Amino acid sequence: MPNTVKWLGHAACQITTDKGKVVLIDPWISGNPVCPVKKEDIPKADLILVTHDHFDHVGSDIPDLVKAGGGVVVAQPELAGALQQSGVSQENIIFGMGMNIGGQVVVSGIKVTMTQAFHSGTAGNAVGYIVVLEDGKTVYHAGDTGVFSDMGIFGQLYNIDLALLPIGSVFVMDPVQAAFSLTLLKPKKAVPIHYGTFPILVQDAGGFVKLAGEKAPGTEVVVLKPGQEVVI
């Protein structure tokens, strides 16, 4: 079984490793108008990574997802505290209190590094994640962010196989910024996310695909529909 990354719509993504481990990122399932699954369709999650506390990222399903699969939640301390108040047991929070930008943790053979992102939040700062799977394949989920020059450092530090990049504008990078970020990150593949969910956002990935082809022809852009997956 290969490593796969499934887009669940908006910023929600599910990584399934070749060893059968499941990593959920920003699992906004219930209430997500483009998500093709229900929380009951996800039998387990070994890791749940949360980028920030906006409703379309932290969602309301995390306590139930944790109870169903016993997974470990990774988030900043301020957000970890809020998640405990919502019903997530402290035992299911990484280190019992969360972690912070620059830190790395290894859970079930999967390395997770929390990175900076440039966005707002009430409970702590917005973040992104570098996820290194058991076989070394590396996924970068940028979270909600504008482009920033330190993405170039990520490109130097990590051999990124797949970048999950928001392109929807208004709250995150627009297609121009997202395409330029590829020149910094230098991923082998990129999947656009965080678009088309609401009328205010960019509605399709065509502009990003065109610009990415011009700015970063070495990166393969894979456009998914919610529920589709890419192999890494």
Q: What domains can be seen in the chain, in order of their start residue?
A: 4-231 (3.60.15.10)
Instruction: Give φ, ψ of 231 to 5 degrees.
Output: -95, 135
- Tokens linked to 122: 């009430």
Q: pLDDT digit string (tens) for 9-27?
A: 999 999 999 999 999 999 9
pTM: 0.98
pLDDT of 1 above 90:
no
Q: What is the dihedral of CA 175, 181, 185, 188, to 10 degrees?
A: 30
pLDDT of 143 above 90:
yes
Closest CA relative to residue 101, chosen from 90, 112, 89: 112
The contacts of residue 66 (CB under 8 Å, 6+ apart) are 45, 48, 73, 88, 89, 92
The contacts of residue 81 (CB under 8 Å, 6+ apart) are 97, 98, 123
| Single-letter amino acid, residue 42 | I
The one-character DSSP state at 113 is: E
Q: Which residues of 3-21 are buried (b: 16+ CB within 10 A; e: fewer)?
A: bebbbbbbbbbbbbbeeeb
Q: pLDDT digit string (tens) for 125-135?
A: 999 999 999 99
Instruction: Give φ, ψ of 131 to 5 degrees.
Output: -120, 120
Q: For the chain, give the mean pLDDT.
A: 97
Strand order in the sheet with 110-116: 104-107, 110-116, 127-132, 138-141, 162-166, 189-193, 220-221
Q: How far apart are CA 50 and CA 156, in angstroms?
A: 24
